[in-house]
Structure formats: structure tokens, C-alpha cells
Amino acid sequence: MAGRRRPAVQPATLIPGDGIGPEVIGAAVRVMEAAGGRIAWDEQLAGKAAFERDGTAIPDALIRSIRRTRVGLKGPLETQIGRVGYRSVNVALRKTFDLYANVRPIKSRPGIKSAFSGVDLVVVRENTEDLYSGIEHQIAPGVVESVKVITARASRRIARFAFDLARREKRKKVVAIHKANIMKLSDGLFLACARQMARRYPGIAYGELIVDNACMQLVLRPQTFDVLVLENLYGDIVSDLCAGLVGGLGVTPGANVGVRHAIFEAVHGTAPDIAGQNRANPIATILSGAMLLHHVGQRRPGLRIERAVDRLVRERRVLTRDLGGTATTSAVADRLIALLPR
């Protein structure tokens, strides 16, 4: 390290979450520290654990912490379906901090069994509007409407985000995915905004694909995609499809990013079937931690983690069951630490 300045310590909020959350978050914190990440964690409860302790799933202390640190690493949180209970923490965090961009890097790693190799793309999903605006009503018995809201402001800023990401990561092409042939006004507006933004980034190629065709192309030739930008609903579906292209939930990291704040988390949920058994795959959360390190300018530890993950899956010695091994969560973290490049 002679001559290399150590990065300043970055404060960050740590949300262990429910189910397998504390196990995978614990593994991520250990690996990030061993890789040389300099983070001062402020641990906060959210969701079920907070509700049981404080009677609220979204304590004020959690919101204050994220407002102060501006970055968080989060475990999955149990969402309550169709029950009177607490409101979704994920939605509340997204709204409170206007985390308008959901980012999911999708990368094949030799050693992880999947249908494809050579995939390296990023899904950028608009996170705040579309059919998720929650405006639904019954107009007559047996007839309901769900309102799809698309605004120029949100469409422009997600397109700008996708092009900025492409430029920062030296990627070559952004493809806007839509159904403007049917939803001429809403998806038409989204496309018009993406085209307008594309003209400002002459060094980056721009293309458009109708969502059904995009799905087919993705499962035929995923290697030809680079950056995808989508509205909320198409983004939700296509980003899970893309996770499946490269080995699934256990290895797919993600981030929700706003102008000032960003929360990093794996794509998977609380996996109640294996919670508390030291069997969960921590790789997705560890890679989300590596994204956090990149985001706060600690690139070297972030890259070291990614290289160690590549080595771990290539050697196929210490893997959890979802990847065909028998190892525990903590054994994977230990092996990753041993495999960190010098």
C-alpha cells in the first residue's frame, strides 16, 4: 500500500433485515472489511424486527440515519401480503428518499451453471411511477381500473441516469424498452424522452425494442445487450428474467439510487425456508456491498471483492446449495476473504 492514500471512512447505514438477512449481511460486512473497505456502520432495525421492538416497521432513527449517511446496505425485509399490518418498508424507503433508479448488473461468471455465458448487461428500471403509482378504482361492479402514470420528468431523469451510467462504465449502447405501439401516449412519452436524452450523448449508441421482442432477444442472444432502460413494470419483469439468465437470485446484486441517497441490496427475499440455518448464499449481498464501495469512491476494495467472487465460483470448492455445493454461509465468506487478491 506504500504511496497509496487510504480512503476516508464512509458512514453507512446497515439494515440486517428479516429471515436470512442478518446472515448474509454479516457475511458481507466481514468481506467488505477484509477487502479494505472503510465503512463506519450505523446499524438500524427495520421491518418485522423493528415492528416487534418499537411498534413501527420504519423507525424515525432509521430514516435519520439514512438521511445522515446517504448510503445503506440492506438485507431483505418480509412484506405482509393482504393483511392489516405495517406498510412496506421497501416502498417507504423508495418514496422517502426518492430512490428513482433501480440498477441491476447482470453478469455471467464462469463456474456458475446457467444457460448462457458471456452476458454482461445492466438493467436500469424507473422506480417511482407507471402502474405502481397505486391508483386503482372500481368503476362498476366487476370493472376495475389501474392507472398507469408516466411523466416526462421521471422518464427524462431515468434516461439521463442510464446514459450517465453507460458513460461512467464505458458501455456502448442504451436500449429503451417499451410498448409504444399499443400505449401510444404513455410509452410514447417515455420513448420521446429517451430519444431526446440520447441526442445529448453522441458517444453512446441508442436503440429501441418492443418489450415482448426484447424478452425473446434476451433469451436468444443476451450477450448482445449492454444497458437497458425501462419503465417500472417492464423493468420489474425483465430484471428478474435477466437474473435468471446468469444463475438466479443467490448471485444478483442491486441498488436503488436517488439524487442524494442510495440503498444497496440483493435481489432475493428473506428465504424463510432456509433462514437461521447458515445455508443462504451471501454472494448477492456481498456483490451489493461491492457496488456500495464503488458508489462511495472506494473502487479498489470493490474490485477486490468482485475478483474474489470470480475466483470462488470458478474453483467450485466452497459454494452453497443453490449453486450445487454444500458449504455454509460463513464458510463462503471465509473462503472469499482467503481469495481476495493482494
Binding site for ligand NAD (CB under 6 A): 20, 24, 76-79, 90, 249-250, 265, 268-274, 280-281, 284, 320, 322
Q: Select the residue whose beta carbon is closest to ligand NAD and give its number.
A: 269
**Shortest CB 29 distance to ligand NAD, Å:** 16
Which residue lies nearer to ligand NAD by CB, 24 or 101? 24
**Shortest CB 275 distance to ligand NAD, Å:** 8
**Shortest CB 224 distance to ligand NAD, Å:** 28
In this structure, the chain runs to a length of 342
**Shortest CB 209 distance to ligand NAD, Å:** 27
**Shortest CB 51 distance to ligand NAD, Å:** 13
For residues 132 and 233, the answer to whether their CB atoms sit within 8 Å is yes
Which residue lies nearer to ligand NAD by CB, 158 or 263? 263
C-alpha cell at 1: 500500500
Helix intervals (H) in the chain: 21-34, 47-54, 60-69, 89-96, 152-168, 186-198, 211-220, 232-245, 283-295, 299-315, 329-339
Angle at 240 between CA 135 and CA 144, to 5 degrees: 25
- What span, in angstroms and rounded, lies between the C-alpha atoms of 309 and 105? 15
Which residue lies nearer to ligand NAD by CB, 58 or 174? 58
* 3-class SS of residue 289: helix
Which residue lies nearer to ligand NAD by CB, 174 or 238? 238
**Shortest CB 296 distance to ligand NAD, Å:** 21
Which residue lies nearer to ligand NAD by CB, 324 or 341? 324
Which residue lies nearer to ligand NAD by CB, 92 or 209? 92
- What span, in angstroms and rounded, lies between the C-alpha atoms of 213 and 238? 12
Closest CA to 232 of 169, 146, 171, 294: 146
- What span, in angstroms and rounded, lies between the C-alpha atoms of 301 and 318? 21
Closest CA to 235 of 302, 150, 144: 150
